[in-house]
Structure formats: structure tokens, C-alpha cells
């Protein structure tokens, strides 16, 4: 049972914010701050009001059950059972609503996809994942910006780095990090044998300037000529950039743009994001005694999902979810169902 006095604190805070918004606030930044908190609290207050309403309803029905009138008592018993079922659902919803929001949820992300074991087939699968996230982004009106991409010889992708911008990007993609495995018969397989290949996906919340500060003295910047397949030069100027962050040893390379300035700017976006992730991981290790969520532990070597073509199924191993809609998922039409179930499971783990 959730303590009523704790819920009243939320209600009192909501009323205070409402009064402040109804009053005249001259400070624009203060108005935006209050409006955001008020907006964030609104769904919690709605859940609290529903919870308390059903609680009062149960209390009234219990009083009617004790009435001397058998007919009224019988009706009240039947309604009580229905109210108790509604109360259990309401309590679960409220507990989920009271879980503190991940402050990173609203951030944009840097998405990295790399072909793993499986040679050309792994690169083709990495390309499938690339297009899946691209279509998913288009469906949600997110901006899908390729920072760097390395194509394989047979139409796949060796590795790619993408910036995805929009509303609540990290909140929806944060559980996609890990090893994605594919089982299918390659086109080059004459015996019809199923091969297993893999690609890794990393989703990092993009670092803002206020999140991470990089000093110029900590950087080593090397410039060189861009190279294509086989190492041949594709540019006559030293436009490619490699940046090494000396304290951490993190190295970022960018060569997709013809301009050295643009390549450096893109490389710095990725470097800041990887450094931000590095610092977050270090802080998480320092408080390792804290209970970890079973979903999205951050282990990027973990096999999280299998895409089985012969059976047309996709299985997410973390929540034992299997959906027989592989084509729809790779077309981004069914990916939201997996993501929704992952978020529900993560919330359940925190309540």
C-alpha cells in the first residue's frame, strides 16, 4: 500500500505550481522551469487521483457490506470484487508513474552499428539493422544524420555512426545496445545451410557542452587523406581527422566530409559522447552495490536479440519475448512492440 501522506506531497506541490502559473511570472526562464515541472507532474497526479478514488470507493463498499440489508450487502460484495481488481491495476500504474524519470531520456543519441562475427553476412545484417533504425526514426519524425559509414564489398555495412535527434530518442532506444544475432541461409550458400552471424549496436546519449568539458591540451589531432575500399585515396587534401583523447585513450576518426573543419566537428560530437558515456560507466561502477535493472545492464557483449529468418521470428532474450513478425520488425513496423515490452519490464524491475 502506498502511503497517502507521500501522495499528498505530490498533490500539494502540483497545486503550488498551478497557483504560480496562474500568477504573473515575469522571469521567462523561471516560467519555463515551472511549466515543465507542472507538465511532468500532471500524469502522476492523474494516477494518484484515480488510485485514491478507487481506494475511497472500496472503503464505502466495505461499509455497505456491513449493512443489515442483505440485498445491499450482496450488491456491495460483487462491486467490491470489481473495485479491488481495478485497484490492483491502478496501484501498479501509480508505482510505475512514481519511478523517477531517467534524466537522460530526452537526450538525442549517437547510434553505432558494427558487423561482428560472420564476415560478409554479418555486414549485410548490420545493413539491415541500419535501415531498420532509419525507418523507425522516419516513422517518429526523428532526424537521422549519418556521421560516418564504412561499406562492405557486397552491399553491407562494416560499421556506421549515426546521430538521431528528436523527442525522447534515448528513452526509446536505450535498450537496443548489445549483440543482435541473425540466423538465415546466405545467398552464397549452395547447400541451404543456416548460418549464424552477429552485429553489435551501441546507443549513447549525446553529450551536451554542459555535460562534458574537453581541454585542448588533452587532445592529439592528426590529419590525413581520406581512403576508400582497399586503401586507395579518395581525396587529394588532408581532410580526414583522427582525434585522440590522451587521458582516456579514446580515439575517434572521421573522413566522410571533404572539409577538415566539418570532419573535426563531427569527430568532436562522437568524442564528447563517448567520454560522457565513459564517465557515466565509471560512476556506475563506483556505486555497484546499488541494485541493477535486469534490462539494459550496459553489457555490450550481451546477446540481446535473435532474428531467425527460416521461422520468421524475433526473440528478445532479456524478457523472453518472441514475435513471429520478422519482416515487419526489420521494416520498423513491429519494433515499437519490442521496445514497449522492454520499457514495461524495466519499470516492473524498479517497482
The number of angstroms, rounded, from the C-alpha of 108 to the middle of its chain's C-alpha atoms is 10
Q: If we measure between CA atoms, which residue out of 295, 282, 59, 292 comes closest to residue 177?
A: 295
**Is 113 in the same domain as 197?**
yes
112: helix, coil or strand?
Answer: strand
Provide the pLDDT for residue 227. Answer: 66
Q: Are 290 and 304 in contact (CB under 8 A)?
A: no
**Is 145 in the same domain as 20?**
no
DSSP 8-state assignment for residue 192: -
Distance CA 179, CA 116 (A): 8
- Give 10-residue mean pLDDT values along the chain (351 residues): 86 93 85 89 93 93 86 88 91 82 88 91 95 96 93 88 94 94 82 88 86 88 72 60 92 87 91 89 61 46 90 95 96 92 78 55
Distance CA 167, CA 140 (A): 9
113: helix, coil or strand?
Answer: strand
236 to each of 20, 150, 214, 259, how far by Cα in Å? 62, 19, 31, 11
Provide the pLDDT for residue 286. Answer: 58
Q: If we measure between CA atoms, which residue out of 161, 200, 160, 171 comes closest to residue 108?
A: 171
* pTM higher than the cut 0.75: no
Q: Are 257 and 263 in contact (CB under 8 A)?
A: yes
**How many CB atoms within 10 Å of residue 1?**
5
Task: With respect to residue 335, please indicate whether it lies within any of the assigned structural domains.
Answer: yes
Task: With respect to residue 78, please indicate whether it lies within any of the assigned structural domains.
Answer: yes
**Is 205 in the same domain as 225?**
no
**Is 137 in the same domain as 190?**
yes
Q: Which of 231, 257, 284 is the last residue of a domain?
A: 284
Q: If we measure between CA atoms, which residue out of 292, 290, 293 comes closest to residue 342?
A: 293
Task: With respect to residue 292, please indicate whether it lies within any of the assigned structural domains.
Answer: no
Domain count, the chain: 3
**Is 201 in the same domain as 241?**
no
**Residue 308 β-bridge partners:** 183, 313
**Is 257 in the same domain as 201?**
no
Dump strand ranges (E) for 152-297: 157-165, 178-184, 195-205, 219-224, 240-245, 250-254
**Is 171 in the same domain as 260?**
no
List the Cα angle 275/280/281 in 5-degree steps: 95
293: helix, coil or strand?
Answer: coil
Q: Which of 98, 126, 145 is the last residue of a domain?
A: 98
Task: With respect to residue 247, please indicate whether it lies within any of the assigned structural domains.
Answer: yes
**Is 156 in the same domain as 20?**
no
Q: Supply the DSSP string of 329-340, one letter for each residue.
A: HHTTSSHHHHHH
Q: Which of 98, 132, 159 is the last residue of a domain?
A: 98
**Is 221 in the same domain as 318?**
no
Q: Supply the DSSP string of 44-63, one letter for each residue.
A: HHHHHHHHHHHHHHHHHHHH
**Is 17 in the same domain as 92?**
yes
Distance CA 329, CA 298 (A): 23
Provide the pLDDT for residue 36. Answer: 86
DSSP 8-state assignment for residue 106: T
- What's the domain range around 35? 4-98
Q: How do 313-316 and 303-308 pair as beta strands? A: antiparallel
Amino acid at each position: 500500500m502506498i502511503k497517502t501522506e507521500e501522495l499528498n506531497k505530490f498533490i500539494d506541490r502540483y497545486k503550488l505550481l498551478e497557483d504560480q502559473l496562474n500568477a504573473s511570472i515575469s522571469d521567462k526562464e523561471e516560467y519555463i522551469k515551472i511549466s515543465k515541472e507542472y507538465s511532468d507532474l500532471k500524469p502522476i497526479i492523474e494516477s494518484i487521483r484515480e488510485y485514491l478514488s478507487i481506494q475511497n470507493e472500496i472503503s464505502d463498499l466495505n461499509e455497505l457490506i456491513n449493512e443489515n440489508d442483505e440485498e445491499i450487502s450482496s450488491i456491495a460484495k460483487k462491486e467490491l470484487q470489481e473495485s479491488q481488481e481495478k485497484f490492483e491495476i491502478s496501484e501498479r500504474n501509480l508505482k510505475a508513474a512514481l519511478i523517477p524519470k531517467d534524466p537522460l531520456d530526452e537526450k538525442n543519441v549517437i547510434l553505432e552499428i558494427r558487423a561482428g562475427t560472420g564476415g560478409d553476412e554479418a555486414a549485410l545484417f548490420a545493413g539491415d539493422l541500419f535501415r531498420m533504425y532509419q525507418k523507425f526514426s522516419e516513422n517518429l519524425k526523428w532526424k537521422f544524420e549519418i556521421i560516418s559509414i564504412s561499406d562492405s564489398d557486397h552491399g553491407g555495412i562494416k560499421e556506421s555512426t549515426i546521430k538521431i535527434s528528436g523527442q525522447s530518442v534515448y528513452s526509446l532506444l536505450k535498450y537496443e545496445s548489445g549483440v543482435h544475432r541473425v540466423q538465415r541461409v546466405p545467398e552464397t550458400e549452395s547447400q541451404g545451410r543456416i548460418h549464424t552471424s552477429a552485429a553489435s549496436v551501441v546507443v549513447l546519449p549525446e553529450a551536451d557542452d554542459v555535460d562534458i568539458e574537453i581541454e585542448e591540451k588533452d587532445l592529439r589531432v592528426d590529419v590525413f587523406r581520406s581512403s576508400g575500399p582497399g586503401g586507395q585515396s579518395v581525396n587529394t587534401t588532408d581532410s580526414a581527422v583522427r582525434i585522440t583523447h590522451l587521458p582516456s585513450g579514446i580515439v575517434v576518426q572521421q573522413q566522410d566530409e571533404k572539409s577538415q573543419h566539418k570532419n573535426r566537428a563531427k569527430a568532436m560530437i562522437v568524442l564528447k559522447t563517448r567520454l560522457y558515456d565513459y564517465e557515466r560507466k565509471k560512476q556506475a561502477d563506483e556505486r555497484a552495490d546499488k541494485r541493477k535493472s535486469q534490462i539494459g545492464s550496459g553489457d555490450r557483449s550481451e546477446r540481446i536479440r535473435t532474428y531467425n529468418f527460416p521461422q520468421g521470428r524475433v526473440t528478445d532474450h532479456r524478457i523472453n519475448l518472441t514475435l513471429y513478425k520478422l519482416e515487419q520488425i526489420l521494416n520498423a513496423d513491429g519494433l515499437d512492440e519490442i521496445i514497449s515490452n522492454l520499457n514495461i519490464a524495466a519499470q516492473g524491475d524498479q517497482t
